[in-house]
Each structure stands twice: as structure tokens, then as C-alpha cells.
Amino acid sequence: MSIESRQQQIDEVIAAEGLDALIVTDLINVRYLCGYVGSNGVLVITRGRRVLLTDSRYMADARERTRGVEVVQAGRDLMDRLADVVGSGRVGFEAEQVSVARQGRFTARLSSVELVPTAGVVEGLRVIKEPEEIAAIRTAAGIADVAFGALIDDGFAGRTEAQVAWDLEGLMRAAGAEGASFDIIVASGAHGALPHAVPRPAPVQANSLVVVDMGARVDGYASDCTRTFATGPLPPDLEEAYRVCLDAQRAALAACRPGVHTGDLDAVARGIISDAGLGERFGHGLGHGVGLDIHERPWLRQEGGEVLQTGMVVTIEPGIYLDGIGGVRIEDQVVITDDGCELLTGITTDLINTSA
Ligand code: GLY
Ligand code: MN
Ligand code: MN
């Protein structure tokens, strides 16, 4: 689907929602709909007109890079030109994203329109990936695999968690990434029991599990992969946690196909971890969609009410976190196919022992 067909689809959604216009302020949604990549842009879509408001810093790049929009220069807060382009009637705005202060500025500038809070209008299109989007994510996942491969070859080599994270980011950039898709997690020993640990300036511990969670970004698209390594012989509870987590992850991958409810998929993994008496140690959801955003729909959670469809890209990432001892998470990124799912991440999930 080209940007032009995304624009055609959003026109149809706006009409179906009974809106006369939509003000798109989420920069990822703006990028998705017209290609703008700057930090200050608002896309206004009316019946028959699409206008990107941006400021002088971005005019030349926006004119060159975007498609299917008029690019209009506005002042720094972009509000001074809003009334000129919004028109009249029922005007939607992205309620999840607009601050109270900005809503106040909308109200002040657009006194003659009916402002309508909306949620998920553009995100609903983004949830199914086009072949070009899947190709970008596949490339990003391959780049992260290169960095994981170097880590497996070299071990942690006496480095601190923070040094390892920095080196992994460098490897991904050298392999063609625009950057890391989120702040890389390297967490050893008891620190690994924090699902989103911040790497410390402390050496990676021996005889422990080390959680390494990273992804690359390519053409704006994110990859996301976690592997947990052993740095020597493990205490039995950590060995058991790894084995249970891997069983849960493999079972969820095997159950991943179109038509499955996200809550039911979460239950496949959670059931295995709970049966091992570790259910309380798996506090987060099974996974999430990934695209231009690192975390986006569909949400694979206990309360998840979505249904997997061909073309969604999601993570499958159960974790077990033992306070004061250590943690394990095993995360793959997959694309849902007509009869199952295809792995985008390529590193083995067998437990790898490497040096601290
Ligand atoms: N990197 C965060 C996550 O795996 O969701
Ligand atoms: Mn991750
Ligand atoms: Mn993830």
C-alpha cells in the first residue's frame, strides 16, 4: 500500500466516522500518512484537502520528502495557520495524544467548529503491515541478529552492562541501522529481575543469567528481540526458569495464527508458566505489535480483545523474574501469515553459555 492508498483509506475512515476533518498530531501517524519525518508537524485532512503544517526548519525537507499533501509554513506552535486549513463542521483530533494545553489552543483557534475526540483512527490502518513495511522490519531484525551473533562469539568479555549496550548499538549502526529502536537492555544477576532494567556501569556477573533486549531501526521501522544468556553454571531455580520460559515461548509461537484472540494466546504461555508455579513471576503481557512504534497495536495481553490477522507483526516475549535472584525473557518478532507465523528474528532460543 503506497502513501497514496493510505491517504485514500484514511479519507474513507474519516467519512465513515462522520467527520469533516481530522487533525493528526501524532508524529508517527503523520509520517505514516505523508512521509514527514521532522519533529514539528501537524497534518490536517479535510474532505478534499490535505495540508501539512510545519515550521521553517523543516519546509525544504518536508516539500521534498512528503507526498499527497500541501506543505504550509506556520509559526513554531503551528496553531496560527490551523483555522485557515481546518474548514468547518465536525473536526476530529487525536485524544490519546493531544495535551490539555494543546486542546485549549485548538478550542481558542477553532471556535466555530465542533471538536471531536477520536482514538485509534490512523492506528487502525497501521496494524496490518504492507510488504514494504515487513521488509524493513525484516532488515532491522537481521541487523540485530548480527549484533547478537557478535555477542555470542565474543562473550561479555569483562565489560560492564552499559559498555555491552553501547557496543551492541555501535554494531547495529555499523551494520546499517538508523539507530537502536529503543534503549538497549543488558541486565545480569539480580538486576535481570527488572523487566526494563537500565544497564549499569557494573561488570556483567558470572554464573548468572543476562537479559539482552535490543532492536534496530530501518526506514523508521523497529525490530525487537530478547535473548537471555548464561555466564557459567546456574543455580537450579534459574535453570528451571529458563526451561519453563522457553516452553511457554515455543507453545505461544506454535499457537500464533490468524483468528486467534490475543488474550487466548497470552493464556497459552501464561498457563505453562503458572503450571510451573511461576505465574506470579510473569507480570507483563505476552507481547505487542511493532512497526513505526516499538510498542503498538495489537496488544497481546491477558485482557487483550483483538484477533490476530495476516500481516500483523508482533512479539512473543514471556518472562520470568525472580526478585533478588535474576530473570529470563525470550522474545521473538513474527509476522502473522495465512496459516501461522514466520519468525523475523533468527537467533537460537536454546540457552547459550558465554563468558562474563
Ligand atoms: N524492548 C521492550 C520490549 O521488549 O517490549
Ligand atoms: Mn524487547
Ligand atoms: Mn517487545
**Residue-level pLDDT at 44:** 98
Q: Where are the alpha helices (DSSP H) in 35-187?
A: 59-65, 82-86, 100-109, 123-126, 131-154, 161-174
Rounded alpha-carbon distances, angstroms, from residue 68 to 6, 44, 175: 10, 12, 33
Whose Cα sits closest to atom 3 in ligand 1? Answer: 224
Q: How far is the CA of 330 from the centre of ligand 2 (A)?
A: 9
Q: Is the CB of 331 under 6 A from ligand 1?
A: yes
The answer to whether 204 and 159 are in contact (CB under 8 A) is yes
Q: How far is the CA of 67 from the centre of ligand 1 (A)?
A: 32
**Residue 204, SS3 per DSSP:** coil
Q: Is the CB of 213 under 6 A from ligand 1?
A: yes
Q: Pairing between strand 49-54 and 41-46? A: antiparallel
Query: What letter would DSSP give residue 275?
Result: H
Cβ count near 50 (within 10 Å)? 21
- Closest of 100, 203, 210, 95 to residue 157, by C-alpha: 203
Cβ count near 35 (within 10 Å)? 18
The domains of the chain, with CATH numbers, are 3-126 (3.40.350.10), 131-343 (3.90.230.10)
Helix (H) or strand (E) segment spanning residue 29: helix 27-34
Q: How far is the CA of 205 from the centre of ligand 1 (A)?
A: 22
Whose Cα sits closest to atom 4 in ligand 1? Answer: 224
Q: Where are the alpha helices (DSSP H) in 190-333?
A: 236-255, 262-275
C-alpha cell at 182: 529503543
Q: How far is the CA of 183 from the centre of ligand 2 (A)?
A: 10
Report which bound ligand comes closest to the CA of 196: 1
**Reported pTM:** 0.96
Cα distance between residue 204 and residue 160, in whole Å = 5
Q: How far is the CA of 207 from the centre of ligand 3 (A)?
A: 26
Report which bound ligand comes closest to the CA of 284: 1
Q: Amino acid identity, residue 102? A: R
Q: Is the CB of 182 under 6 A from ligand 1?
A: yes
For ligand 1, mutation pick of 182, 282, 299 (most atoms within 8 Å of CB): 182
Sequence-distant (≥ 6) Cβ neighbours of residue 91 within 8 angstroms: 19, 20, 21, 22, 23, 110, 113, 114, 115, 116
Q: Per-residue pLDDT tens, the chain, 356 aa: give them.
A: 589 999 999 999 999 999 999 999 999 999 999 999 999 999 999 998 999 999 999 999 999 999 999 999 999 989 899 999 998 999 999 999 999 999 999 999 999 999 999 999 999 999 999 999 999 999 999 999 999 999 999 999 899 999 999 999 999 999 999 999 999 999 999 999 999 999 999 999 999 999 999 999 999 999 999 999 999 999 999 999 999 999 999 999 999 999 999 999 999 999 999 999 999 999 999 999 999 999 999 999 999 789 999 999 999 999 999 999 999 999 999 999 999 999 999 999 999 999 88
Cβ count near 139 (within 10 Å)? 18
C-alpha cell at 53: 503544517
**Residue-level pLDDT at 48:** 86
C-alpha cell at 30: 503523520
| Rg of the chain (C-alpha set) | 22
C-alpha angle 71/291/185, rounded to 5°?
120
Query: What letter would DSSP give residue 140?
Result: H
**Residue-level pLDDT at 157:** 87
